[in-house]
């Protein structure tokens, strides 16, 4: 069993609180480590040290900071398999999913190599008589990232990359369920040339989260997790005068029009609905076929595909489709929601609750479940299940299907499968959701765009990665300048401030 501490001033240190949390192996249900939970004093000390280190780092020119990102990317590529296995060991993801987790984070680091371009300001010559105006982007100072269990590599990289490339120091508080990947990334950043203290990884629970929100030195907080916690963090951070960028839950719909390629739609639903055991904020959890004929044909194609899904530990090889969910509590919650769907009248076509894997009976495995004829008043529709459960909600027309998406409280992602460009264009223009896919199941934008939801899926004005991240992690200063010239007696030129 390993003891997991914190990353402070460029090295691993043990916790001093005497408190710890179990780090589980989701495939076996066994404790595989203990992670230290920091105190308020430990957090505040890490922040003070980060503030000292940030002064020189913020004064380092953006091109040199970008070179650290370049080296960091090389090291991530070098250690891709090691990082993926760390993700799989603590989260339970298959190795391909683990590599995908790292890869999507790496792509943001690659964009951060362009920090000099991202940090450019604006200039206007002769905005008034002899007056020039220009703006500059400057780092905030010390910022914080609070990241979830479901992407132990990707989301820490989404937070740390832009924040550090913009010249800030960062306090990273990863999920206590999957802490090791963030610590490994911190080691790689040191190897890449990041000065000690600029990144501090502090493990902890709500005590540390509240300490981050209340610390006066921390200027901004980025969070990804559930909607109730996102609202809590956003409110407390804003009340303390901090910038906050908080991303919460989701209920992502895919519309399937009568003219859609149903084989492609069914394949997309299986991958987007059940991949990573459904523990993704961009998972498609609701399929909305338009018309009874479309729905019946879709179900005929979905059922055999879902029945063929392979569930197992990451050690079983590359052909496993998904692994366990993160905890026993998550497993019981998913089973409970499936039960409520049955009680409330949904048609359970495939029931994954009784799934058992020989040799892994104590692991947190659950088979895939598929519901038909789900209605919006049912708990399985209203709740973010965060498990391998797909609900089919039938609608008679495109307008009814669009209204279903627009009336939902969440607005992270949505997609439509259709062969009609006019319908797709109308959907993309009208739907009140932050990320839209057209014949594309999980519309996570490429890293040089930006990621963010609407409604109760996101709190704050700026999104993750891309240009928005650099706006979030910097403040704009605008200078209005006028230079005077003087004339000596006899007309001789006396001075010019630009000389």
Distance CA 99, CA 86 (A): 10
State how far the Cα of 7 lies from the Cα of 439, in Å rounded to an integer. Answer: 43
Dmax over CA atoms of the chain, in Å, equals: 101
Closest CA to 223 of 159, 166, 157: 159
Clarify whether 281 is annotated catalytic. yes
- The residue behind tokens 């090295």 is 11
Strand partners, 451: 464
User: Of 112, 178, 246, 281, which residue is the catalytic one?
Assistant: 281
What would the two tokens of residue 410 be?
């969440």
Residues with active-site annotation: 281
């Amino acid at each position: 069993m390993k003891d997991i501490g914190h990353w402070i001033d460029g090295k691993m240190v043990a916790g001093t609180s005497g408190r710890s949390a179990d780090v589980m192996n989701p495939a076996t249900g066994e404790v595989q480590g203990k992670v230290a939970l920091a105190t308020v004093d430990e957090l505040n000390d890490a922040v003070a040290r980060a503030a000292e280190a940030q002064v020189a780092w913020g004064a380092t020119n953006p091109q040199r900071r970008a070179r650290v990102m370049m080296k960091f990317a090389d090291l991530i590529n070098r250690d891709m398999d090691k990082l993926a296995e760390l993700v799989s060991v603590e989260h339970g993801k298959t190795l391909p999913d683990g590599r995908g987790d790292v890869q999507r984070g790496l792509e943001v680091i690659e964009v951060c190599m362009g920090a000099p371009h991202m940090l450019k300001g604006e200039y206007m010559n002769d905005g008034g008589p002899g007056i020039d105006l220009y703006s500059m982007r400057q780092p905030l100072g010390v910022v914080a990232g609070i990241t979830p269990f479901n992407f132990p590599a990707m989301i820490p990289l989404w937070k740390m990359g832009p924040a550090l490339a913009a010249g800030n120091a960062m306090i990273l508080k990863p999920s206590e369920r999957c802490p090791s990947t963030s610590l490994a990334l911190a080691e790689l950043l040191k190897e890449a040339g990041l000065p000690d203290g600029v990144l501090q990884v502090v493990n902890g629970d709500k005590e540390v989260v509240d300490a981050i929100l209340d610390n006066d030195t921390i200027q901004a907080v980025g969070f990804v997790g559930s909607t109730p916690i996102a609202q809590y963090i956003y409110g407390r951070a804003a009340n303390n005068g901090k910038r906050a960028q908080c991303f919460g839950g989701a209920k992502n719909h895919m519309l399937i029009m009568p003219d859609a390629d149903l084989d492609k739609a069914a394949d997309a639903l299986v991958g987007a609905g059940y991949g990573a055991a459904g523990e993704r904020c961009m998972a498609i959890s609701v399929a909305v076929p338009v018309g009874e004929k479309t729905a019946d044909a879709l179900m005929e194609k979905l059922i055999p595909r879902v029945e063929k899904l392979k569930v197992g530990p990451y050690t079983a090889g590359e052909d496993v489709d998904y692994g366990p969910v993160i905890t026993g509590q998550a497993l019981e919650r998913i089973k409970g929601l499936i039960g409520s769907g049955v009680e409330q009248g949904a048609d359970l076509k495939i029931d994954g609750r009784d799934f058992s894997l020989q040799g892994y009976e104590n692991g947190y495995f659950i088979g895939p479940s598929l519901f038909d004829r789900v209605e919006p008043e049912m708990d399985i529709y209203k709740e973010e299940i965060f498990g391998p459960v797909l609900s089919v909600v039938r609608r008679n027309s495109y307008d009814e299907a669009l209204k279903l998406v627009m009336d939902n409280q969440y607005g992270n992602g949505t997609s439509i499968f259709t062969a009609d460009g006019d319908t797709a264009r109308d959907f993309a223009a009208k739907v009140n959701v932050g990320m839209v896919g057209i014949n594309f199941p999980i519309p996570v934008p490429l890293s040089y765009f930006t990621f963010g939801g609407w409604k109760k899926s996101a709190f704050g004005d700026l999104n993750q990665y891309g240009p928005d991240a650099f706006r979030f992690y910097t403040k704009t200063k605008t200078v209005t300048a006028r230079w005077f010239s003087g004339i000596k007696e006899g007309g001789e030129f006396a001075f010019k401030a630009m000389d």
